[in-house]
Chains A and B, each alone.
Chain A
Amino acid sequence: MLSLQNIRKSFREPDGSTLPILDVPQFEVAAGQQMVLLGSSGSGKTTLLHIIAGISNPDAGTVEIDGLDITRLPEAGRDRFRAERIGYVFQTFNLLPAFTALENVLLGMTFSRGASDRGRATKLLQRVDVAHRASHKPSQLSVGEQQRVAVARALANRPSLMLADEPTANIGAAHQQQIVDLLRDTCREENVALVIVTHDPAVSSQFDRVENLEEINRVETSVEGRVSSVES
Chain B
Amino acid sequence: MSLWKIAWRSIRQRALSSWLTGLSMALGVALVVIVLVIHSVISRSFGEAAQGYHLIVGARGGKLQLVMNTVFHLSQPIENLPWDFYKQFTEYQDQQGNRVRGKYAGAVKVAVPYCLGDSYQDFRVVGTTPDLFDKISYGAYDDGTPKMYKFAAGRNFRQHEFNGAVIGAFAARRTGLQLGDRFPITHGLADDENAHVHEEDLFDVLGILEPTGTPNDRAVFVNMEGFYLIGGHALVMEELEESGPADVPEDEPPTHGDEDPSDAPTAETHHAADHGQHQQPKIKPLSEDQREVTAVLLLLADDAYAMRLSKQIDKGRVAQAVFPSREVARLFEGLVGYVKSILLVLAILVIVVAGVSVMVSIYNSMNDRSREIGVMRALGAGRSTVMIVVLLESILLSLLGGAAGVLLGHGTMAVLSPIVLNMTGVTIHAFQFDLAELILIPALIVLATLAGYLPALTAYRTDVARALSAAP
**Contact among B12, B376, B469 for A46, CB-based, below 8 A:** B469
- Encode B351-382 as 1/0 by CB contact (under 8 A) with A: 00000000000000000000110011111111
User: Is A10 interfacial (CB 8 A cutoff)?
Assistant: no
Docked complex Cα distance between A108 and B1 (Å):
10
A-B contact count (CB 8 A): 84
Enumerate A184-232 residues with CB–CB distance to B below 8 Å: 229-232
Enumerate A159-200 residues with CB–CB distance to B below 8 Å: none
Whether B379 pairs with A153 at a CB distance below 8 angstroms is yes
Whether B9 pairs with A99 at a CB distance below 8 angstroms is yes
Whether B468 pairs with A232 at a CB distance below 8 angstroms is yes
| Interface majority SS (helix, strand, loop, mixed), chain A | helix
Number of interface residues, chain A, beta carbon within 8 A: 36
Most buried by A among B380, B381, B383, B464: B380
Closest CB-CB distance, A135 to chain B, in whole Å? 14
Whether A94 pairs with B380 at a CB distance below 8 angstroms is no
Docked complex Cα distance between A56 and B378 (Å):
10
**Contact among A53, A76, A83 for B383, CB-based, below 8 A:** A76
Whether A107 pairs with B378 at a CB distance below 8 angstroms is no
Q: Given that A88-B378, A108-B380 are contacting pairs, would A94 and B468 also be in contact in the complex, using a CB cutoff of 8 Å?
A: yes
User: Is B93 interfacial (CB 8 A cutoff)?
Assistant: no
**Contact among B1, B10, B465, B472 for A107, CB-based, below 8 A:** B1
User: Is B417 interfacial (CB 8 A cutoff)?
Assistant: no
Whether A110 pairs with B382 at a CB distance below 8 angstroms is no
Instruction: Using CB atoms, name the residue of chain B closest to A84.
Output: B380
Residues of A within 8 A of B10 (CB): 98
Residues of B within 8 A of A25 (CB): none
Q: For this complex, into which size category does the number of interface residues on chain B fall? A: 20 to 34
Whether A230 pairs with B382 at a CB distance below 8 angstroms is no
* CB-based closest 9 A-B pairs: A83-B380, A98-B13, A111-B380, A98-B9, A79-B382, A111-B381, A94-B375, A110-B1, A108-B379
Residues of B within 8 A of A97 (CB): 13, 372
Closest CB-CB distance, B164 to chain A, in whole Å? 74
User: Is A80 interfacial (CB 8 A cutoff)?
Assistant: yes
Whether B371 pairs with A94 at a CB distance below 8 angstroms is yes
Whether A96 pairs with B376 at a CB distance below 8 angstroms is yes
Enumerate B245-293 residues with CB–CB distance to A below 8 Å: none
User: Is A112 interfacial (CB 8 A cutoff)?
Assistant: yes
Closest CB-CB distance, A68 to chain B, in whole Å? 15
Whether A96 pairs with B372 at a CB distance below 8 angstroms is yes
Closest CB-CB distance, A120 to chain B, in whole Å? 13
User: Is B317 interfacial (CB 8 A cutoff)?
Assistant: no
Residues of A within 8 A of B468 (CB): 50, 55, 90, 94, 232
Can you list 5 A-B pairs with a CB-CB distance of less than 8 A? A75-B383, A76-B382, A88-B379, A99-B9, A109-B1
Whether A96 pairs with B1 at a CB distance below 8 angstroms is no
Q: Given that A94-B371, A107-B6, A110-B6 are contacting pairs, would A80 and B380 also be in contact in the complex, using a CB cutoff of 8 Å?
A: yes
User: Is B466 interfacial (CB 8 A cutoff)?
Assistant: yes
Residues of B within 8 A of A229 (CB): 469
Instruction: Using CB atoms, name the residue of chain B closest to A47.
Output: B465
- Encode B448-472 as 1/0 by CB contact (under 8 A) with A: 0000000000000000111011001
